[in-house]
Amino acid sequence: MAAAYLTHHQKVLRLYKKSLRHIESWCIFRDKYSFYACLLRARFDENKHEKDMMKATMMLKAGEEEFWANQHPQPYLFPDSPGGTSYERYECYKVSDKVKCTYQYFYHLEEKEKKKKLLWSFLFIVQNFGRKTLPYISGTRFSLVHLCCCTFTSHYFKEAMNPKCFCTRAE
């Protein structure tokens, strides 16, 4: 099956995103990057409502040529993106779905252990740094409301391991 052609709108969006990424590579400081990003956005917004497709296509071509002339010689790449330093680095360590289905019990235990470690790290942070630091912790499966308003008892540990646990107590 052949891939679909990109629409003019998609090409413009991709040019805008590429341009922003290269501005990010040129500008080290965030305030300078924000300034140039606003200027770039203003240039794109000037011609946003262009009805003549021939003129719009010519502007897109001119924009791509300008991008090519001004692109960064060594742009920043995210480590896990194609061309990044660790792209597909850990692919050989990933377990196939067939193996996971065969050994479901062990993967279930592993998930429980991950939850326990996460909970113990939260307890350590709360005991040593107080409850004010909890809103700054992200990337977890536990709700911060649940952690803030529940008491840390053995009953809580049993409930925290249960994904159906919903906190009803208010502080």
Q: What is the pLDDT of residues 2-58, one digit of tens each?
A: 678 999 999 999 999 999 999 999 998 999 999 999 999 999 999 999 999 999 999
Q: What is the pLDDT of residues 56-86, one digit of tens each?
A: 999 999 999 999 999 999 988 888 888 888 8
Check residue 135 and give its pLDDT. 52
**Domain ranges in the chain?**
1-93, 95-160
Check residue 95 and give its pLDDT. 78
Q: What is the dihedral of CA 114, 115, 121, 123, to 10 degrees?
A: -160
Whole-structure pTM value: 0.54
Check residue 149 and give its pLDDT. 43
Check residue 130 and give its pLDDT. 64
Check residue 128 and give its pLDDT. 76
CA nearest neighbour of 121 among 101, 102, 141, 97 = 141
Q: Residue 79: phi, psi to the nearest 5?
A: -55, -35
Query: Alpha-carbon distance 63 to 44, whole Å?
Result: 10
Pick left, alpha or beta for residue 83 (phi over 0 → left; psi -120 to 50 → alpha; otherwise beta): left
- 169, 157 contact by CB (below 8 A): no
Q: What is the pLDDT of residues 104-151, one digit of tens each?
A: 888 888 888 888 888 888 788 777 776 555 555 544 444 444 544 444
